[in-house]
Amino acid sequence: MPPWQERTGESLDIKRKRLLYESRKRGMLENCILLSLFAKQYLNTMSESQLKQYDRLINEPSNDWDIYYWATEAKPTPDVYQGEVMDLLIEFAKNKDMEQRLDAPNLEYLDKNS
């Protein structure tokens, strides 16, 4: 697998759509659920800087388990991935409201934002 490189020349709308897809299609179910629900809640309000952080966070690590362990604080997050987005993901993963998170969200919510 080639190393991650930041994409250039991509509009924010296209970047959001790509990141939504990449959040839903992970190598493990736990991250499919966690990241797709996180993306549903935060992706449309992220700034360009936050989108870049999120892109790097979900696409640069070669092991999806690392992302899961960082989000659940089972392992310390490397400095390169620390920031606003990682902080949001860690808080989201805590699920303080005890929401039932058993599957990725349906895609109907996308039509409401168009």
User: By C-alpha distance, which of 37, 4, 28, 5 is closest to 106?
Assistant: 37
User: By C-alpha distance, which of 59, 46, 53 is closest to 13?
Assistant: 46
Band (114; pLDDT cuts 50, 70, 90): very low
The whole-number average pLDDT for the span 36-63 is 95
The model's pTM is 0.86
Domain range summary for the chain, segments of one domain joined by +? 12-96
Given this model, what pLDDT does residue 112 score?
52
- Is the pLDDT at 113 greater than 70, yes or no? no
Fold of 12-96: DNA polymerase; domain 1 (1.10.150)
Task: Give residue-wise pLDDT tens across range 68-106.
Answer: 999 999 999 999 999 999 999 999 999 887 877 777 777
For residues 79 and 12, give the distance between their C-alpha atoms in angstroms, rounded to a whole number. Answer: 25
- Is the pLDDT at 49 greater than 50, yes or no? yes
